[in-house]
Amino acid sequence: MGGRQRRTHRTPRQKSGTNLSVNVEADPRRWIANHIGSCFRYLAQIPSRDDRKKHNRIALGLIATVVFALGPLGYSLMELHPCGAWFCWVVALLCGGYSFWSIASGARWIRIAILVVATSVFAFYAHRWVYFYTELDSFFVNPGVFIVEGSGDWLLLVTSQNTHRPLSSVHMILQDIVTAHAIPNERDPAIREAMIRGGTIEKFYPEIGPTTLTDPIRWRPIDVNNQEYSIQARYRIGERVFFSTEEIRIVNIGTKFISAERMTEAPVWQFSVTVRNQSGKILMHCVSPKFPHDARWVAGPACLPGPNYAPLPRSLCARCFSDGFELFASP
């Protein structure tokens, strides 16, 4: 008899599991329909007053936390660390969502729909604001345009195209690298001195903002067909001081230009532009499609067609946890 009892005895869990598997195997459509119906009944159900009262104290406490702590904290962090600000507001949204779920009356599906809409709107504005406040603000010299005069002049352009917030106390030093390399080979002291003086330009701008007009720098290079410039800039954004460097290389891959009178074909200009922060991290890099590459001047995203001089794409993680242009000095 003991053996027969062991063969016939089953625990409640064994019975329910066996019945569940038998029901699913016997009629899976009916089993799925029953569960879907249960979900709909749960969503359509209105919680009782007693059920809501149990969570009122916790919900009201969370609302007080949101209003008096996380909200002001996030606002104070907006400009200093926008990702930290929105993290505070995400926590505030979670607390507010729980409070709304606990206090509000109505069918569950209505409350879920309201929370989904509120979360979607919040996510849209969070993404937009984080990307806006984490854009890199930098001093930038556009490679400019060719001027067909004499042996060829070049117009470099100090622009505000990568400036979203005003840069103040901007100090720029622009050096013609080709001229600097040619100075040791010049034997005439007077010409060498003129090359030293004329190979570097230093300028100061009280402020460069989004609406600042372009400042053109007219330059007469030694060889207009092969140009290289190095720009160093030091500037302030608010109370912080930043430093950046820019390298520009301009090459004519078409018929060599000698003078305006002897020009028979238009030059084919190719550009390479690289901007780095103080630690040498590349923040902007673009190269024309036919630019001649070597070990130093490597390939990159195309600058042309179109003046697409903009910082390299950065992920949300990079925007939140790196400054881009690092702090150079205390004010």
Query: pLDDT tens digits for 102-120?
Result: 777 777 788 889 889 989 9
Q: Measure the N-to-C terminal CA separation of the chain; round to a whole number of Å.
A: 93
Q: Give me Rg for the CA atoms of the chain.
A: 33
Q: Are the CB atoms for 134 and 321 separated by under 8 Å?
A: no
Least confident of 76-80, 102-106, 197-201: 76-80
pLDDT for position 173: 94
The pLDDT of residue 171 is above 90: yes
**Up-side HSE of residue 321: CA atoms within 13 Å toward CB?**
4
Amino acid 50: pLDDT: 60
**Which amino acid would we find at residue 248?**
I
Least confidently predicted of 121-135, 141-155, 277-291, 315-329: 315-329
Residue 217 has pLDDT above 80, yes or no: yes
Q: CB within 8 A of 238, min separation 6: which ones?
A: 79, 165
Calculate what percentage of the chain has a pLDDT beyond 90: 15
| pLDDT tens per residue, range 235-289 | 998 888 888 999 999 999 988 888 888 888 888 999 999 998 877 888 888 888 8
Going by C-beta distance under 8 Å and a sequence separation of 6 or more, which residues neighbour residue 239? 331
**What is the β-pairing status of strands 140-147 and 226-237?**
unpaired
Share above pLDDT 70 across residues of the chain, in percent, rounded to a whole number: 71
